[in-house]
Amino acid sequence: MAFFSSISRHLTWIAGPSLALSVLLLVHCIAGVIRTERQARLLGVPLVPRQEVELPEAGRVVLAMEGPILGRHFAGLEYELVGPDGRADRGRPVLFRARTTGFSKATVDLRVFDLAIPGRRELRILNLAGTRSGDEECRVVFKRPHLASTMGYVLGIVASSGVAIASLVLFLQRLLGVRGA
């Protein structure tokens, strides 16, 4: 019990710095999520049935759809990339459908393609019959995989938020002289 009473007496000194450090970590993690999302984006193109795209990197590329929140413009669509050799690649579905939502737009990861070489490819969107209202707001986005780093930042946001809230409560409790029951 002497240990806990000692900590209780020094909560002002412990909670204050831990609150400051956790808020700094929270800001760092939020900025990291935003920075990671921006750096992962390779290119975005309009939603049309066929078009040429220039993919600047070889390796794994994620195809995502960007459009209005709660929009159903991408339901039932299928995607394929036709390489320089004329072979169509439908890719594979993403294991975890990551979603990024802003105030007006949402982005959903749909397919993963493994590109042997960078360069020009034809993007075909199957089952896209004509244009519908709102299609001009929609885009096909190609980006690098970044789920692991994003999840690391999200865990940092959750942990630093918990520490910040607990530190704030303990700091105010000690500052106001509130005693535990």
Integer Cα distance of 19 and 173 in angstroms: 14
Q: What are the residues whose beta carbons fall under 8 Å from the beta carbon of 35, sequence distance 6 or more?
A: none
Report which of 162, 120, 163 is spatially closest to residue 17, judged by C-alpha positions: 163
64-108 pLDDT, tens digit each: 998 888 776 667 788 888 888 888 788 888 888 878 887 888 888
What percentage of the chain reaches a pLDDT higher than 70?
A: 85
Number of C-beta neighbours around residue 176 at 10 A: 7
Strand bridging mode 59-68 / 50-55: unpaired
Classify the C-alpha dihedral 166-170-175-180 as positive or negative: positive
pLDDT of residue 80: 86
Q: Average pLDDT of the chain?
A: 83
For residues 23-49, give the mean pLDDT: 91
Highest mean pLDDT among 19-23, 43-47, 67-71, 117-121: 19-23
Tokens 């459009």: give the residue.
67
Integer Cα distance of 95 and 111 in angstroms: 9
32-42 pLDDT, tens digit each: 999 998 999 98
Where along the chain do its domains lie? 15-176
Contact between residue 150 and residue 98 where contact means Cβ atoms under 8 Å apart: yes
134-166 pLDDT, tens digit each: 567 788 899 999 888 999 999 999 999 999 998
Q: What are the residues whose beta carbons fall under 8 Å from the beta carbon of 177, sequence distance 6 or more?
A: none
Q: Is 110's pLDDT higher than 70?
A: yes
Pairwise pLDDT comparison (115 vs 25), residue with the higher score: 25
pLDDT of residue 181: 45
Integer Cα distance of 23 and 160 in angstroms: 7
Going by pLDDT thresholds of 50, 70 and 90, the confidence category of residue 1 is low
pTM: 0.75
